[in-house]
Amino acid sequence: MDGWASARQGLRDGWHARTQATREHVEAHAAAMLRRPGAPTAAVLIINKATCVSRGEYVGCAEVLSDMLPVGTRMAVYVSDGTKVRLSKICQGTGEGIAP
């Protein structure tokens, strides 16, 4: 998947539509894959940067990733520094940002 449209596929139209985290970040692309019909209900994502957090008007993945996942879906996010891999967050899908 690539591009903004693919990361936002299946999300509500106005839900954080101008937020980088829901358009560009790998976490959003991984969540989009889990919104596809027949997708698994659990996934592991290993990234090389910590998940971004909200600051001021900026909305980060840490706050919205669970909302981009379908209810009943879980994603474990690990961060690798090239030497070690550590668990960063386990997101339980709420479906809050998903289009009906």
Please state, in angstroms and rounded to a whole number, the distance separating the CA atoms of residues 54 and 56.
7
61 within 8 A of 31, measured Cβ to Cβ = no
Domain count for the chain: 1
Range of the domain at 18: 4-92
Residue 12 lies in a domain: yes
95 within 8 A of 70, measured Cβ to Cβ = yes
Residue 100 lies in a domain: no
Residue 88 lies in a domain: yes
Percent of the chain whose predicted confidence (pLDDT) is above 70: 95
Residue 97 lies in a domain: no
Q: What mean pLDDT comes out for the span 5-25? A: 86
Residue 27 lies in a domain: yes
Spell out the residues 6+ positions from residue 37 whose beta carbon is closer than 8 angstroms to its own. Answer: none
Residue 75 lies in a domain: yes
Residue 32 lies in a domain: yes
Compute the mean pLDDT over every residue in the chain, rounded to the nearest whole number.
91
Q: What is the pTM of this model?
A: 0.89
Half-sphere exposure at residue 9, Cβ-oriented, CA atoms within 13 angstroms: 15
Per-residue pLDDT band at 52 (split at 50, 70, 90):
confident
